[in-house]
């Protein structure tokens, strides 16, 4: 078996650029278009940006991130020791993105991917009023809230956790449907759904109570309807040090106080 060809993808931030200069002599890096795997230097935001670019270009390769940002939940720790050996031993985790189909008040339609979550958020001081449908069945006729989000297991420790949503194990084949500051019904805490289900959210009175839809870092404003489901035609592979694996980190996050 031939050795992997590695590309180095670097955030424009100064710490990432300085780290890249230190790594360049350690491996025979190749241009991204010639590589079959990549090391990504930056933070979680840059990693999501890189993965989205791969989805858009259909040049999807396994990625090994090293944290030179703030949180770095999707990244391995930054250090230079035994890099080639660490890359060889890294564990692979498959992550399936969400597909968000959006229709706006004007009738415009968009299809966007989301790796962490899809969130619907009120655009003005007025609360959003949303209808929630699961697999063609209306489950909630009216949710009055600041918004709602649908999170993957990989994204369940991000915005979803801040909104008091559940942490999902990486291999659980579930999605978290989590309200953001629900006003009515006030005690509704959300739902955990099998990831084979399609979630449709309609905005009630969208002209008076406008809502935006955000797939990770991509926003569509003034939406009228959003459909969300796992995109089974796409798959991303993330690589982690065995002692720093994503499934372990997700499990341990439940004990952080």
Residues taking part in catalysis: 44
| Residue 216 assigned ligand-binding role | no
For residue 157, say whether it is annotated as part of any ligand binding site.
yes
Strand order in the sheet with 98-104: 109-114, 98-104, 223-230, 199-203, 128-134, 137-145
Characterize the bridge pairing of strands 137-145 and 128-134: antiparallel
| 161 assigned to a ligand binding site | yes
Is 45 known as a binding-site position? yes
Q: Which residue has the tokens 């350690």?
A: 26
Between CA 178 and CA 89 the distance in angstroms is 36
Task: Tell me the three state secondary structure of residue 161.
Answer: helix
Q: Are residues 207 and 105 in contact, defined by beta-carbon separation less than 8 angstroms?
A: yes
Q: Is 69 left (phi over 0), alpha (psi -120 to 50) or beta?
A: beta
Q: Is 160 annotated as a binding residue?
A: yes
Residue 33 labeled ligand binder: no
Structure tokens at 46: 């840059």
The reply to whether 59 sits in an annotated binding site is no
Determine whether the annotation assigns residue 154 to a binding site: yes
Sheet with 91-95: strands ordered across? 6-10, 37-42, 63-67, 236-240, 91-95
- 3 in a known ligand binding site: no
Report d(CA 181, CA 41) in Å as an integer. Answer: 35
Query: Quick one: which of 150, 160, 128 has its CA closest to 224?
Result: 128
Report whether 112 belongs to an annotated binding site.
Answer: no
Q: Is 173 annotated as a binding residue?
A: no
Whether 36 has a binding-site annotation, put simply, is no
| Antiparallel, parallel or unpaired: β 63-67 and 236-240 | parallel
**Neighbour tally for 15: CB within 10 Å:** 15
Name the DSSP letter for residue 184. B
Q: Would you say 85 is a known binding-site residue?
A: no
Q: Specify binding-site residues.
A: 44-45, 116-117, 146, 154, 157-162, 218
* Annotated binding-site positions for NAD(+): 44-45, 116-117, 146, 154, 157-162, 218
């Amino acid at each position: 078996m031939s050795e992997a060809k590695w590309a180095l993808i670097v955030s424009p931030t100064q710490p990432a650029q300085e780290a890249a200069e230190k790594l360049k002599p350690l491996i025979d890096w190749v241009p991204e278009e010639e590589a079959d795997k990549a090391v990504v230097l930056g933070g979680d935001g840059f990693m999501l940006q890189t993965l989205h670019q791969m989805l858009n270009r259909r040049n999807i390769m396994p990625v090994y991130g090293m944290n030179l940002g703030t949180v770095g939940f999707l990244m391995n720790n930054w250090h230079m020791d035994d890099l080639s050996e660490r890359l060889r031993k890294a564990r692979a985790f498959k992550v399936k993105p969400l597909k968000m189909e959006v229709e706006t008040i004007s009738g415009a339609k968009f299809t966007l991917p989301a790796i962490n979550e899809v969130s619907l958020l009120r655009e003005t001081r007025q609360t959003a009023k949303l209808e929630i449908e699961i697999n063609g069945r209306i489950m909630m006729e009216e949710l009055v809230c600041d918004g709602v989000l649908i999170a993957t297991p990989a994204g369940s420790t991000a915005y979803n956790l801040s909104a008091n949503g559940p942490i999902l194990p990486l291999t659980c084949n579930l999605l978290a449907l989590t309200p953001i500051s629900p006003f009515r019904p006030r005690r509704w805490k959300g739902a955990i759904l099998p990831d084979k289900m399609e979630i449709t959210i309609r905005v009630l009175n969208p002209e008076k109570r406008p809502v935006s839809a955000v797939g990770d870092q991509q926003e569509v404003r003034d939406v009228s309807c959003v459909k969300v489901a796992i995109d089974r035609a796409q798959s991303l592979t993330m690589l982690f040090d065995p002692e720093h694996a994503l499934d372990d980190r997700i499990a341990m996050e439940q004990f952080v106080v």
